[in-house]
């Protein structure tokens, strides 16, 4: 009994501390004045201001569009690569997997600088294109990490049965393999999307000097420390994430524990 009390108190405090900044931010997004220490009265004016603010909305748009496109591309490329890798000779496969891990293990700033240098040397103008390329570059490895384990755990007999029954390799791919790894692909896509949506360091270095910014880089350059529109934006993002969590918890339940483990 004692142990349980201690455990619950601990959990309560830590989770509380963890969410305190977020909750405070949400509360103050409804503040009528623009202070973060004194609450005036309830007001939605910052939400209105947020939607009116062209640059911020543009940043949101860029973030979403880049996230969607880079997720689609990296998921497709990564999934295909994972499947192809599983059929390769051991040496090449292991080498590729090792190389694949480089951007995953590297601190972001190193990936960021290497891409900065690359785009500089080949005189590629920084902007949408470079951001998209960069996001694809760092998302694809994560897709492979997620999908590959599932691919190699598949039962080879099913594919063999398919080709015995006359299926072309393409048909085997689309009708046998892909459906089986659907869940892993979904998980990979989710990770790719999150990594792209949240990205700061890499996006910052590859769009420096261009007018293009995503949410993170825009907020960063907005050195104006206090802008309650930021709170409004964050509250909205939290709302979306909150909905996702609720969906995960109530609809899917314990299955999600496994998904989080892969994400970890």
Partner 1 sequence: MKRLFLVLILFLFVQSVVACDKRPEVKILAPGEYMTEETIKAFSKKHGIKVVIDEFASNEEAITFIKSGAEYDLILPSEYALEQLIVENPEYLKKVDWNKITTFNKETDLSNGLDELLNNLKVDSGFDLLEYGVPYFWGSVGLLYNSEVVAPEDVQQGWELLRMGDKYNVAFYDSSRDALMTALVTLGYSMNTNNEEEVNAAKAWIEVGAKKGVGYLTDDIFDEIPNKNYDVAMAYSGDAAEIIYRVYDEEIDLQLDFVTPEVGTNIWIDFLAIHSSANEENVYKFLNHILSYDGALENTRSLFYASPREDVRQGQIRTASTERIKELYTIDFREQDEIFRFDPVSKELIDNAWNSIGVRRQGKPINLSTIIITVVGGVLVVGVIATFIIVRRKRR
Partner 2 sequence: MKKVRISKNGGNKTLNTILVFPYYMILFSLILVPIFIMVVSSFLRGDSNNLFQVSLTFENYLNFFGNEDYLYAMGRSIWLALLTTISTLLIGYPLAYFITKTKTRTQALLILLISAPMWINLVIRTIALKQIIELIIPSILKTNTAMVFGLTHVFLPFMVLPIYTILLKIDSNLIEAANDLGASKFVAFLKVILPLSLPGVMSGILMVFFPAATTLVIPKYLGNNVFLIGDIIERVSILSGNIGYGAAIAIILSIIMMAMMLVVKRVDKFKGEEYE
Q: Which residues bind to partner 1, rule: CB under 8 A?
A: 1, 5, 8-9, 12-13, 35, 61, 65, 68-69, 72, 120, 123, 125-126, 128, 208-211, 221, 223-227
Cβ neighbours around 228 below 10 Å, total: 23
Which partner, partner 1, partner 2, none, binds residue 256 by CB below 5 to 8 Å per kind?
partner 2
CA distance 62 to 190: 18
Q: Is 97 in the site for partner 2 (CB under 8 A)?
A: no
Residue pair 100/149 in contact by the 8 Å Cβ criterion: no
In the chain, % helix, strand, coil (3-state, to 5) comes to 80, 0, 20
Q: Among the candidate windows 40-48, 54-62, 64-72, 138-146, which touches partner 2 by CB under 8 A? A: 138-146
Which partner, partner 1, partner 2, none, binds residue 69 by CB below 5 to 8 Å per kind?
partner 1
Residue pair 135/199 in contact by the 8 Å Cβ criterion: yes
Q: Is 208 in the site for partner 2 (CB under 8 A)?
A: yes
Candidates 166, 179, 211, 264; binder of partner 2 (CB under 8 A) is 264
Which partner, partner 1, partner 2, none, binds residue 251 by CB below 5 to 8 Å per kind?
none
| Cross-strand bridge partners of residue 153 | none
Candidates 36, 72, 128, 178; binder of partner 2 (CB under 8 A) is 36
- Segment (H or E) for 166: none
Residue pair 185/79 in contact by the 8 Å Cβ criterion: yes
């Amino acid at each position: 009994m004692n142990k349980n009390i201690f455990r619950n108190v601990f959990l309560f405090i830590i989770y509380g501390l963890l969410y305190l900044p977020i909750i405070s931010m949400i509360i103050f997004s409804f503040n009528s004045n623009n202070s973060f220490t004194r609450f005036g009265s309830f007001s939605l004016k910052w939400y209105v201001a947020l939607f009116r603010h062209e640059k911020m909305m543009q940043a949101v748009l860029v973030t979403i569009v880049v996230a969607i496109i880079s997720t689609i591309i990296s998921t497709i490329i990564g999934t295909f690569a994972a499947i192809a890798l599983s059929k390769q000779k051991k040496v090449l496969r292991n080498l590729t997997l090792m190389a694949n891990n480089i951007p995953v293990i590297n601190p972001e700033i190193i990936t960021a600088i290497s891409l900065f240098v690359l785009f500089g040397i080949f005189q590629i103008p920084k902007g949408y294109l470079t951001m998209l390329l960069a996001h694809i570059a760092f998302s694809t490895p994560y897709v492979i990490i997620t999908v590959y384990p599932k691919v190699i755990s598949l039962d080879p007999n099913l594919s063999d049965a398919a080709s015995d029954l006359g299926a072309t390799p393409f048909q085997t791919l689309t009708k046998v393999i892909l459906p089986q790894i659907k869940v892993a692909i979904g998980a990979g896509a989710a990770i790719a999307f999150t990594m792209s949506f949240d990205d700061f360091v890499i996006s910052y270095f590859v769009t420096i000097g261009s007018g293009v910014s995503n949410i993170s880089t825009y907020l960063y350059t907005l050195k104006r420390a206090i802008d309650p529109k930021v709170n409004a934006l964050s509250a909205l993002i939290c709302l979306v994430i909150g909905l996702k969590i609720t969906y995960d918890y109530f609809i899917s339940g314990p299955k999600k524990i496994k998904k989080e483990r892969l994400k970890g």
